Amino acid sequence: MAKTLTVERRSIDYIPPEERHGKPRSLLFVWFAANTSITAVVTGALFVILGNSALWSIPAIILGNAVGGFFTALHSAQGPKLGVPQMIQSRAQFGYFGAILPLVLALMIYVGFYATGLVLGGQAIGTLLHVPPQVGAMVFALMSATLAIIGYRYIHKFSHIAAVLSAVVFVILLVRIIADGNIGPVVETNAFDGAAFVLGISLSASWQLTFGPYIADYSRYLPEDTPKRATIGWTFLGSVLGGSLAMTLGALAAALGGKAFGHDQVGYLAGLGGAIWPLVLLAVILGKLTGNTLSSYGGYMSLATIITSLTGQDRVSPRQRSLYVIAISVVSLAIALAATNNFLTNFTNFLLFLLYFMTPWSAINLVDYYWVRKERYSIAQLFLRNGEYGRFNKGAFLAYAVGVLIQIPFMNSSLYVGPIANLLGGAEVAWLIGLVVAGGLYYATSRAVRNRARTFESISGKPHGTAVPATATITSEETL
């Protein structure tokens, strides 16, 4: 008997134990597919454009992905343990209404990456189907929205196909580039540039850190007893391998192709594929479709959380869910159609801009989860306006504000170059400063929370925070 297509009904609400399913190794495919996208290839090309030689781009790419991927993967363990979306959990740090601030920033990430993905995905569909890239972007938006509406289970299934195809195609393209007789002299040109090398590390770390606001969204259906090491490990492996492979391909392609690559990234990669050019385009489409679907899916949950915070709802109906996904897709498509020109420059500015604002959030979230509350939360309280976590947390806002402001002297972007960045020759270390300062300050201001948790445990002998919201009785899927 044929299986029926089912649509996910859960959104921002808690996933009860009886609805948990899957294995942590599925996270390898999700994050490998999301990272082996044409957008990651373009990011790798920026290493060369910013002044790195092709040879020195490779260790910068690997190091940056590993550092950023480590912090991002730590968020993944929150999914099985808490069973709620990543940004809902931010209410524990920022308060019920205070979490709207990081939610708005996360929404900007989703829309930005969705829009840039539509530009490149539209190019791939346009080349494959011989239609204008604008038409390709529209088709791509429809595909992304459909997969996001169907939801979690099918996003995971689709990522398996996309990950395998991307791995095969990208390795073939790398072999072709290395075998090209012209790559040797290109790789050997330009001496080591320390500032460009550090900036490259920051760029790839930024790529990984911007996944932070939705990492746990794709592990929250896993059983609660899923080993933390497995969840973190498979996420880290998929993200770092995928990001490093795609960015290395982009750096070498940019060094070899020069203006030809910069003018048409998708077309240049298809040309490298030779006889398998349709397969290259298909890999680009499926890989980018994975990333765009994650942005659409995460975007609707952020939007839904913002709206439900203001209205007092604790769940979203399937119809509302579809409307949110469509709204995110329409806005992203409008941006994509208007932002096709000067894409590389705009994308660089966007990526570095996000890093300054999201790194302090990530630090606060991780410090709270692992060191302050030590993985123990009252899930029901996350859905209460006047609950345990309050409406606003002044300590979190102070740590966040200082974490952002402390980065200003170290910034190196097209909008502003700080005085310390100038002294360092343009090296970009602001994100690292923001990570340490925001996390440290939040820990220092959370002493009362840590004391309450210890007192509760000493009196009751039980971990603090095990409650489940009343909405847990809802079934997880609706049959079509």
Find the mean pLDDT for residues 15-20: 93
Residue 312 near residue 468, CB atoms below 8 Å:
no
Quick one: DSSP state of residue 14?
Answer: -
| pLDDT at 343 (0 to 100) | 66
Q: Which residues of 44-76 are buried (b: 16+ CB within 10 A; e: fewer)?
A: bbbbbbbbbbbbbbbebbbbbbbbbbebbbbbb
394 or 49: whose pLDDT is higher?
394
pLDDT band at residue 189 using 50, 70 and 90 as cut-offs? low
Rounded Cα distance between 298 and 215, Å, is: 9
CA–CA separation, 24 and 35 (whole Å): 18
Q: How far is CA 280 from CA 124, 271, 277, 294, 398, in A?
A: 9, 9, 5, 22, 48
Locate the DSSP E strands across 290-364: none
- The reported pLDDT for the residue numbered 7 is 81
Quote the pLDDT of residue 466. 45
CA distance 319 to 373: 36
The reported pLDDT for the residue numbered 190 is 64
Q: Among 125-129, 275-279, 344-348, which stretch is predicted with the lowest mean pLDDT?
A: 344-348
pTM above 0.75, yes or no: yes
Q: How many CB atoms lie within 10 A of CB 459?
A: 8
Domain 22-341 sits in CATH at 1.10.4160.10
Average pLDDT over the chain reads 86
Question: What b/e string do you get for 145-181 counting C-beta neighbours within 10 Å, with b at 16 or more?
Answer: bebbbbbbbbbbebbeebbebbbebbebbbeebeeee
CA 314, 318, 321 angle in degrees (round to 5)?
75
CA–CA separation, 169 and 288 (whole Å) = 14
Q: How confident is the model at residue 91 (pLDDT cuts 50, 70, 90)?
A: very high
Report which of residues 348 and 174 the model is more confident about: 174
Token look-up 């995928």 returns 242
User: Using only C-alpha atoms, what is the Rg of the chain?
Assistant: 22
d(CA 150, CA 7): 5
Q: What is the pLDDT of residues 447-462, one digit of tens each?
A: 888 776 665 555 544 5
Percentage of the chain lying above the pLDDT 70 cut: 88
Residue 475 pLDDT exceeds 50: no
Position 166 scores a pLDDT of: 94
Q: What letter represents residue 10's amino acid? A: R
Q: Specify the range with the lowest mean pLDDT, choosing from 60-69, 316-325, 359-368, 387-396.
A: 316-325
Confidence of residue 232 (pLDDT cuts 50, 70, 90): very high
Determine what percent of the chain is predicted with pLDDT higher than 90: 51
C-alpha distances out from residue 293 to 150, 347, 448, Å: 10, 19, 40
Name which of 144-148, 261-265, 427-431, 467-471 the model is least confident about: 467-471
Cα separation of 317 and 294, whole Å? 20
Side-chain half-sphere CA neighbours of 152 within 13 A: 28
Task: Please report the pLDDT score of residue 344 as a whole number.
Answer: 56
Confidence (pLDDT) at 467: 41
Please give the pLDDT value at position 245: 96
Provide the 8-state DSSP code for 5.
P
| Between residues 432 and 457, the one the model is more confident about | 432
Q: Which of 253-267, 381-395, 466-480 is the least confident region?
A: 466-480
CA distance 438 to 363: 6
Write the pLDDT tens digit of every residue in 333-345: 998 888 756 665 6
Mean per-residue pLDDT, 31-56: 86
Q: Is the dihedral angle over the CA atoms 404, 370, 97, 321 positive or is it negative? A: positive
Furthest C-alpha separation in the chain: 72
Q: What is the pLDDT of residue 202?
A: 87
What's the confidence (pLDDT) of residue 191?
67
Number of continuous H segments (helices) and E segments (strands) in the chain: 20, 2
Residue 256, Cα to own-chain centre: how many angstroms? Answer: 29
